[in-house]
């Protein structure tokens, strides 16, 4: 996909906020710190793009306004990564390097296994606490500039530090975007939860066949820290699944009945949203016979009386 076509994916989901004056007013504290002089808007944008390239959530969040920082922390892990991807237009985490153009402009080069992009930052237009910087984005292999995309990025000075404000004509308003992204992701996370129940159920059955009894907990299905697999760390699940939380869902494992030994032993599994309404709405349940059920319990555990799912 061309750089220009992929950039449309950046701007399309972002909401146009017409009351830009409010954003300026809330972040219009005059700068008095030396760091705001040394680390001007060009340096801030350079470092923000470098953090987005490496998909470093901690470093990227440093360049968000206080309002957006709080919303960014509340996004699902997948949504946080998706946001950073949109700033460099590359799918995989990369290695950022900083070079200088022949005209003396800073360039962030982001190299990933699947490709590389170069983002050249132009001179800043600064007015009070706002700065706008032109950025040229191109595929690193485009040496003649046949497919260069131009976009102007805005920054606002908040408590003496430059923070990301806008991409093109749209403000970066994460609280508003969070609801949209959550709704889009719920279907995927619920499907992943169903698949997770199946994977865990299969792992329990493999454990039973190997050791003639059910595991006491999901932790015993996880990978060994070192050495060969054993009844305490059977290597049947990844670390997240064995911990009982993955992809926005929490998993519960219960031995059903008095005995955990042999073929007659039964177990049940449940998957509930880690954050109801954000990482999922339905709760899922695997009954003792292996049947899967699902229903909206507002975050509570489901049961075998819920409708069956395939």
Residue 155 belongs to a domain? yes
Q: Which of 120, 148, 172 is a domain's end point?
A: 172
Query: For residue 15, is pLDDT > 50?
Result: no
Residues 6+ apart with CB under 8 A from 61: 69, 72, 73
What is the structure's pLDDT at 170? 76
Alpha-helix runs per DSSP H in the chain: 3-11, 20-26, 34-38, 41-54, 57-61, 66-74, 77-88, 174-211, 239-243
* pLDDT digits 0-9 by tens, 154-171: 999 999 999 999 987 778
* pLDDT digits 0-9 by tens, 95-145: 999 988 888 889 999 999 988 999 999 999 999 899 999 999 988 887 776
* pLDDT digits 0-9 by tens, 184-227: 778 889 999 999 999 999 999 999 999 999 999 999 999 998 99
* Whether residues 217 and 167 fall in one domain: no
Residue 304 belongs to a domain? no
* Whether residues 237 and 129 fall in one domain: no
* Whether residues 85 and 133 fall in one domain: yes
* Whether residues 144 and 193 fall in one domain: no
30-34, 174-178, 230-234: least confidently modelled range: 30-34
What is the structure's pLDDT at 39? 62
- What is the enclosing helix (H) or strand (E) of 95? strand 95-100
pLDDT band at 76 (very low <50, low <70, confident <90, very high): confident
Residue 177 belongs to a domain? no
* Whether residues 193 and 273 fall in one domain: yes
What is the structure's pLDDT at 9? 35
* Whether residues 165 and 216 fall in one domain: no
Residue 104 belongs to a domain? yes
* pLDDT digits 0-9 by tens, 237-252: 999 999 999 999 999 9
Q: Which of 125, 142, 172 is a domain's end point?
A: 172
* Whether residues 36 and 149 fall in one domain: yes
* Whether residues 7 and 84 fall in one domain: yes
* Whether residues 145 and 208 fall in one domain: no
* Structural domain count, the chain: 2
* Domain CATH number, residue 106: 3.10.450.50
Residues 6+ apart with CB under 8 A from 252: 244, 269, 270, 271, 272, 301
What is the structure's pLDDT at 283? 98
Pairing of strands 125-127, 130-139: antiparallel
Residue 309 belongs to a domain? no
What is the structure's pLDDT at 277? 86
What is the structure's pLDDT at 163? 96
89-93, 180-184, 271-275, 306-310: least confidently modelled range: 180-184
Cα angle: 72, vertex 73, 79; to 5 degrees: 55
* Whether residues 216 and 140 fall in one domain: no
* pLDDT digits 0-9 by tens, 38-70: 469 999 999 999 999 999 999 999 999 999 999
Residue predicted with more confidence, 27 or 87: 87
Residue 93 belongs to a domain? yes
What is the structure's pLDDT at 53? 94
Residue 271 belongs to a domain? yes
In terms of residue numbers, what domain contains 218?
A: 184-296
What is the C-alpha to C-alpha distance for residues 90 and 86, in angstroms, rounded to an integer?
7
Residue 310 belongs to a domain? no
Q: Which of 141, 172, 203 is a domain's end point?
A: 172
* Whether residues 188 and 163 fall in one domain: no
* Whether residues 166 and 191 fall in one domain: no
């Amino acid at each position: 996909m061309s750089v220009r076509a992929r950039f449309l994916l950046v701007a399309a989901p972002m909401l146009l906020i017409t009351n830009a004056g409010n954003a300026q007013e809330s972040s219009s504290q005059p700068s008095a710190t030396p760091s705001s002089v040394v680390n001007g808007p060009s340096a801030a944008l350079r470092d923000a793009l470098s953090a987005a390239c490496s998909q470093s959530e901690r470093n990227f969040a440093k360049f968000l306004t206080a309002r957006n920082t709080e919303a960014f922390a509340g996004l699902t892990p997948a949504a946080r990564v998706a946001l950073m991807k949109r700033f460099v237009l590359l799918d995989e985490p990369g290695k950022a390097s900083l070079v200088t153009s022949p005209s003396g402009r800073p360039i962030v080069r982001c190299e990933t296994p699947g490709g590389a992009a170069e983002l050249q930052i132009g001179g800043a237009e600064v007015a009070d606490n706002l700065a706008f910087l032109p950025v040229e984005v191109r595929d690193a292999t485009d040496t003649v500039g046949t497919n260069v995309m131009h976009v102007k990025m805005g920054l606002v000075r908040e408590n003496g530090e430059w923070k990301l404000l806008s991409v093109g004509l749209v403000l970066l308003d994460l609280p508003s975007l969070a609801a949209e992204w959550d709704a889009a992701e719920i279907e995927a996370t619920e499907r992943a939860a169903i698949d997770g129940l199946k994977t865990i159920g299969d792992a329990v059955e493999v454990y039973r066949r190997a050791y003639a009894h059910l595991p006491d907990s999901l932790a015993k299905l996880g990978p060994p820290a070192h050495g060969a697999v054993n009844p305490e760390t059977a290597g049947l699940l990844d670390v997240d699944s064995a911990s009982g939380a993955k992809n926005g869902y929490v998993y519960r494992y219960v031995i059903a009945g008095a005995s955990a030994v042999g073929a007659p032993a039964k177990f049940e599994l449940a998957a509930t949203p880690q954050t109801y309404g954000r990482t999922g709405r339905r709760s899922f349940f695997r009954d003792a016979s292996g049947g899967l059920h699902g229903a909206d319990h507002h975050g509570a555990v489901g049961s075998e009386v819920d409708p069956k799912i395939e």
